Structure 1
């Protein structure tokens, strides 16, 4: 039976969030990254009003560090992991209620670029903790490479899913069939490239996200120096040509640099929790506008901006570090 991946705004039982532990991966900013991740976890937990947060830490030493940063209600799960990007290394849950199954995809370090021990094992390990049947998938897919609206509609990018460093023997049509079999995708919107500086080869969760059934949010460039202005324009044109989709404008943070290089900073890396929408904040002019825009899109939830300059030093943000367990 084909099961659909639920939309992120559907109710969650819990969420896994990865906690930074390898200092060499954070350009001297691991303490800031840990504070950002802890603040994210606390916002999602929302004093017990949100959802169960399972903060995944590598060992007991990291558990002690994490415990000093998170609220008492946040669960700490000791489970060896590589990098913190559980959106990509963790399992994706398809179906709801008693029909839920954990789809455990192959992971090849974003095309063999950032090889770390533990990344290929964490998906199966977390899946085993759910009590759901686990289906090992025989192809490479990262959760940040797709976004769904719960009706069978999915958005992705050619840069990522058609990249020869992932599934070189699969055609565009093959991938569409596999997304249908694994996640219940029936309509697939192909965008082009992802953001400048995105080490994941253009994950869509930094570019375009569903904010309702058939409603797709795409950023609007923030001035002439926004490095992603052509990317946003192309994404909008493709979505319009696809048809049947309402396009919603969201702000862009504009040009954000880390160590002299353009960072893949994006408000699109927000996380939709049961009670809270957590929005990355970069200390730039559009931070407030992004929070206000998402608050208007999710009136039943509290939208909050959480500092993300620490976590972006590792190449991602809040959505990248999390993977929800739908109810």
Structure 2
């Protein structure tokens, strides 16, 4: 029997998977060169810690091999967009070392973008190429909407998972049961909502994540005039009264949000919590300019939280202009390894 467990992101990875940007899918097509440069910068940062696999349109194989070199696995799979966190399956593990890809249904964040059929079909192809077994739940879910402590606790938001544009008619209890069935979850902690202006309808990976079992990082707002002030106060209230799957009270570590910023008339969802764990390190988006002070504070908090990890920074603006950041464009493949029993 497969005793499923969703590993924590800080556990050892075999590699990281990304998708190369598709010009036709960009919200701002004139940014294509900048976006591609941002992806390449992130890929280079990850490669300093672990291998990278990149999903590319077949006709771009030659150009990207020349651009990125030989030290990267290229997977020729047609795709609509480039947010691997949400369209590449969630890989779970068993105690015997076997892995399973949970290939969620994908509907482009509640039918916000068309077409999305290639991204919805992408999971089966990438799992076949990486030789990982597949499971296809009857549930729309994006990887950016859930975070695991590796010990049975899942962190998420009601704003996203209970949004009628994902799974209309499904109750919170039904979705909890699905997370238990497919991820081996034993406890689901529900925050009310994500950051103001987040077009994903409140993905957890912009506002909060586990730093360790029993320890949560939360991006907070200090300005009472900013909608994120009330949002993050409510998050603190929930986390203060919750316990995890093993009954532990949660320690909350606060990271101050970057200053309010807009891009082409809309709020930019700037988040330090959209960093990505890699083997022995993490990749952190920073924003510079008015955010230079909070950039430095975020690095200090993360260095204190993860003293054994190297922190590599990348330009967060090249990605956030399209609505996401480093965590959104990556999906880890956990290493297949038998767990040691105590």
- Deviation (angstroms), 1:193: 1.2
Moved more, 307-316 or 7-16: 307-316
2:259 is matched with which residue?
A: 254
Instruction: Show the counterpart of 1:73.
Output: 71
Asked if the contact 2:25–2:80 (Cα under 8 Å) also holds between the matched residues in 1, the reply is: no
Measure, in 2, the Cα distance between the counterparts of 1:192 and 1:63.
Answer: 46
Q: Is the 8 A contact 1:2 1:180 kept in 2?
A: no
CA RMSD of aligned residues (A): 1.8
Q: Work out the number of aligned pairs and report it.
A: 323
**1:94 aligned partner:** 92
Within 5 Å, give how 1:1-327 maps onto structure 2.
1-23=2-24, 25-27=26-28, 28-46=30-48, 50-61=49-60, 64-65=63-64, 67-68=66-67, 70=68, 72-96=70-94, 98-117=97-116, 118-223=118-223, 226-243=226-243, 244-283=249-288, 284-285=291-292, 286-327=294-335
Alignment partner of 2:320: what SS?
Answer: helix
TM-score scaled by structure 2? 0.89
Q: Which moved more, 1:290-299 or 1:246-255?
A: 290-299
TM-score, normalization by structure 1: 0.93
- Cα offset, 1:71, TM superposition: 5.8
Q: Which range moved further: 89-98 or 197-206?
A: 89-98
Distance 2:25 2:175 in 1: 35
Contact 1:42–1:71 under 8 Å retained in 2: no
Counterpart CA distance in 2 for 1:140 and 1:121 is 13
Separation in structure 1 between the aligned mates of residue 131 and residue 316 of structure 2, nearest angstrom: 33
SS of 1:137 mapped into structure 2? coil
Q: Distance in 1 between matches of 2:188 and 2:25?
A: 38
**Whole-angstrom distance in 2 between the partners of 1:65 and 1:101:** 29
Greater CA drift, 59-68 or 143-152: 59-68
Q: C-alpha distance in 2, partners of 1:183/1:291? A: 31
Q: Distance in 2 between matches of 1:71 and 1:275?
A: 23
Q: Deviations over 1:226-257 (max 9, x none)?
A: 44222111111111121411111112113121
In the alignment, the residues of structure 2 paired with residue 79 and residue 323 of structure 1 have an alpha-carbon distance, to the nearest angstrom, of 16
Q: State how far apart, in whole Å, the 1-side matches of 2:310 and 2:62 are.
A: 28
Distance in 2, matches of 1:274 and 1:199, equals: 30
Counterpart CA distance in 2 for 1:90 and 1:109 is 13
Q: State the shift of 1:62 in Å.
A: 6.3
Q: 1:249, 1:67 → 2: CA distance?
A: 42
Q: Indicate conservation of the 8 Å contact 1:270/1:278, yes or no.
A: yes
Question: Partners in 1 of 2:236 and 2:250 — Cα distance?
Answer: 11
Q: 178-187 or 249-258, which moves further after superposition?
A: 249-258
Per the TM alignment, residue 279 of structure 1 is displaced from its structure 2 partner at its CA by 0.8
